[in-house]
Amino acid sequence: MNFSELQVTLSFCIIFLLRMLGMFMIIPILSKYGMLLDGGNKFLIGFSMGIYGIAQVIFQIPFGVLSDKFGRKKIIILGLFMFFIGNIISANMHSIWGLIIGRFLQGSGAISGVCMACLSDLIREENRVKSIAAIGISFALSFLISMVSGPIIVQFFGFFSIFWVSAFLSIICIMVVYFFIPYSKKNILPEKYTCCSYIETLKFVLNKKFFRSYLGIFFLHFLLMINFMIVPNKFEMSGFSLNNHWKIYLGTILISFFILFLFLFYCKCKHILENIIEICILFVLCSEVIFLEAQNDLLFLIISLQIFFISFNFLEVFLPSYLSKQLLKNHKGSIMSIYSTSQFLGIFFGGMISGWLCEFLNSSKIFSFEIFIIFLWLIFSFFCKK
């Protein structure tokens, strides 16, 4: 990589790292602290977790198309500003419905796909996979920091301090975009981009060869949201207090991060690399089976969480890397926006369905439901691979 490509890659790593903290920090603590909000119940807590995702679903594709027409940088700054406003509202409203409104506005800054398309514009093809892998690692690092910092921040500064921290980080992201990301005039669509052109773009990017990544990121975050409605409570039932959960998250994510690092640099087996997505799905399946059998045994809960985090981090890197190999010039923004839409659609349905399931089913039945979902995911992945 040359200096410009390193600058762009590092800038986007910082943006993804800081921005995703705002979403992830709330995950390990909302299932408990959400019940203390005015009007809080399990379904609305799950809905407040997932509403961020549905806002991303609504705005992700239009943002991608707008970036193809008006340029990536302007749209990225607009999305970060909307994210900032959502955090300010979330920090100042003390009811579950106020949190839902704030989370929706947070999610309306739907720029993940635009960022990935901008990176594809500014990085040469031979270095693109490295840049996307670096962003995947920053995403995993964001997850690590948030799982550890979320409970600690709430313990010392209160629940709503999370949103003030996130608002501050969004300002830093805006400054990084403004000063360090160059304008890109590549792949901007012509002025005559009509409604028919928009429909034709959707028809093109919604074809089978892209669905291995679309479905993969959907199911991955669907399962993530369900697990974190259940796992914190399982740890507490095993005798491990919520204030100490960050120690488990820190250890398991660091280990998974280290394993990912070793794999990226030392694995040369072509057969494994070609089937890495399906291999990771099988490991996710193993983790859910262990969750099901572990009951309240702390050791087995930690082992199952470790396997899940390893699989999660691998998929966060390899799903977009697989997709990037198939990107075509004039539709980068749209394709990556649909990928991000699939991710946040998984967040929405995972959050909403987990809240609903927790109202009626015990944890064992919910884990059985997750195992069924993983089998469907594996079948779809093999089908889309052909």
Tens of pLDDT, residue by residue over 95-130, are 888 888 888 988 888 787 788 778 777 887 667 767
Close Cβ partners of 361 (under 8 Å, ≥ 6 residues apart) = 369
Close Cβ partners of 303 (under 8 Å, ≥ 6 residues apart) = 290, 294
Residue 92 has pLDDT above 70, yes or no: yes
Residue 191 has pLDDT above 50, yes or no: no
The tens digit of pLDDT for each residue in 140-185 reads 678 778 878 888 888 888 888 888 998 999 999 999 988 888 876 5
Per-residue CA distances from 245 to 187, 242, 257 (Å): 46, 5, 18
Residue 255 has pLDDT above 80, yes or no: yes
**Mean pLDDT along residues 38-45:** 81
**Residue scoring higher pLDDT (376 or 238):** 376
**Mean pLDDT along residues 237-258:** 82
**Mean pLDDT along residues 311-327:** 76
Q: How far is Cα 281 from Cα 379, in angstroms, rounded to an integer? A: 10
Residue 79 has pLDDT above 50, yes or no: yes
Residue 286 has pLDDT above 90, yes or no: yes
Residue 369 pLDDT level (bands cut at 50, 70, 90) = very high
**Which helix (H) or strand (E) element contains residue 95?**
none
Residues 102, 140, 380, 337, Cα dihedral to 10°: 50
Please state the domain extents for the chain. 3-191+201-385
Q: According to the model, what pLDDT value does residue 220 have?
A: 92
Q: According to the model, what pLDDT value does residue 189 have?
A: 47
pTM: 0.75
**Residue scoring higher pLDDT (360 or 77):** 77
Residue 210 is given by DSSP the state G
**Mean pLDDT along residues 251-269:** 81
CATH number for 3-191+201-385 (one of 1.20.1250.20, 3.30.360.10, 1.10.10.10, 3.40.1550.10): it is: 1.20.1250.20
Single-letter amino acid, residue 296: N
Q: According to the model, what pLDDT value does residue 202 have?
A: 61
Neighbours of 312 (CB within 10 A): 24
Q: According to the model, what pLDDT value does residue 214 have?
A: 86
Average pLDDT for the chain: 81
Per-residue CA distances from 124 to 118, 318, 324 (Å): 12, 19, 12
Per-residue burial over 2-25, b if 16 or more Cβ lie within 10 Å, else e, is eeebeebbebbbbbbbbbbbbbbb
Neighbours of 1 (CB within 10 A): 15
Q: According to the model, what pLDDT value does residue 171 have?
A: 92
Residue 194 has pLDDT above 60, yes or no: no
Q: According to the model, what pLDDT value does residue 190 have?
A: 46
